[in-house]
Amino acid sequence: MTKNKTALVCGAGGFIGSHLAIRLKKEGFWVRGVDLKYPEFAPTVADDFVIGDLRDQIVVQNILDRPFDEVYQLAADMGGAGYIFTGEHDADVMHNSAQINLNMAYYGVKAGIKKIFYSSSACIYPEYNQMDPDNPKCSEDSAYPAAPDSEYGWEKLFSEHLYSSYHRNYGLDVNIARFHNIFGPEGTWTDGREKAPAAMCRKVAETPDNGEIEMWGDGKQTRSFLYIDECLDGMRRLMDSDFTGPVNIGSEEMVTINQLAEMAMDIAGKKLTIKHIPGPLGVRGRNSDNNLIEDKLGWKPSKPLKEGMVKTYKWIEQQVKDANK
């Protein structure tokens, strides 16, 4: 009998990590998850789940007790615009996430791990290329001269360099992806850390027909959103390759936030008015550029945004109903 491949998922209590653990189990991996918390919306499927703080070197040494075939480093101090762009959490975001990555790279090499995936972000791209909502530039080589619009983005850029250095100096096999707005069911949908698709679905689900919802900014800022299952396809494709990246994993279907809200209303069968209010926004425009991933891995998302939004809306609508019981 062949031995199961082993995977360590750091951040397995979070949105992408909990979905990834399910995918890895289906593929036959033995999975250990680590996080400060268990997944919020469903029990973990991991074979072993360690509640631990990855800023702590002892915890990191303990969880790396074997030369894992694959390590996925998804743990980060993060959230939506309400968390990242207000400036109130900058020191924590930089300290906490950098500490996690410093520990994982250093002790990962010591433990002899075979391969590590690092989740960077579209937030590393310079603000100056994302001022025009209709023509944002996010090709991988446009990252420099660096000018991310948040400390969250600067930490991601630092950690990309950290893992790349370990690749060069210690032969650590790294795969670095820059995620562009991943969304789907069983993700944060309330409390200020939720992202735009979840926020729009929640507001629409909570508001009676012909009512009003609030939106930060004029709603003309653009973004693209990638459904979780597509993201997992891209991640697994990248990990099965020897392409180190960094490479975008995102969708090229760019919409305005107004259009995203309209889509949620359409799915719900409601007609609501949008009241635009001041709030933290981020860049004016952002879209994934998938030329590099198509070229290197022959991969691109296969489904339209609407399909993922339907599944996400249904899930959030149920959460809203349950919360009001």
Active-site residues, by number, are 152
Question: Taking the complex as a whole, how short is the minimal distance between the CB of residue 36 and ligand NAD, in angstroms?
Answer: 4
251 makes contact with ligand NAD (CB under 6 A): no
Question: Taking the complex as a whole, how short is the minimal distance between the CB of residue 52 and ligand NAD, in angstroms?
Answer: 6
Torsion sign, CA atoms 118, 121, 122, 125 = negative
74 makes contact with ligand NAD (CB under 6 A): yes
Could you tell me which stretch among 42-50, 76-84, 232-240, 279-287 binds ligand NAD (CB under 6 A)? 76-84
DSSP string, 32-96: EEEESS--SSS----SEEEE--TTSHHHHHHH--S--SEEEE---S--SHHHHSSSTTHHHHHHH
Asked whether the beta carbons of 266 and 205 are under 8 A apart, the reply is no
Structure tokens at 5: 């491949």
User: 3, 37, 275, 325: which one contacts ligand NAD (CB under 6 A)?
Assistant: 37
17 makes contact with ligand NAD (CB under 6 A): yes
**Residue among 16 and 205 whose Cβ is closer to ligand NAD:** 16
150 makes contact with ligand NAD (CB under 6 A): no
157 makes contact with ligand NAD (CB under 6 A): no
Query: Which of positions 262-321 make contact with ligand NAD (CB under 6 A)?
Result: none
Do the strands 70-73 and 6-10 form a parallel or antiparallel pair, or are they unpaired?
Answer: parallel
Kindly state the DSSP code that residue 8 receives in the 8-state scheme: E
119 makes contact with ligand NAD (CB under 6 A): yes
Residue 164's alpha-carbon distances to 151, 167, 249, 309, in angstroms, are 20, 5, 18, 35
Please tell me the number of Cα atoms within 13 Å of 76 on its side-chain side: 26
Could you tell me which stretch among 14-22, 109-117, 201-209, 299-307 binds ligand NAD (CB under 6 A)? 14-22
User: 6, 8, 9, 14: which one contacts ligand NAD (CB under 6 A)?
Assistant: 14
55 makes contact with ligand NAD (CB under 6 A): yes
Asked whether the beta carbons of 203 and 213 are under 8 A apart, the reply is yes
**Residue among 75 and 264 whose Cβ is closer to ligand NAD:** 75
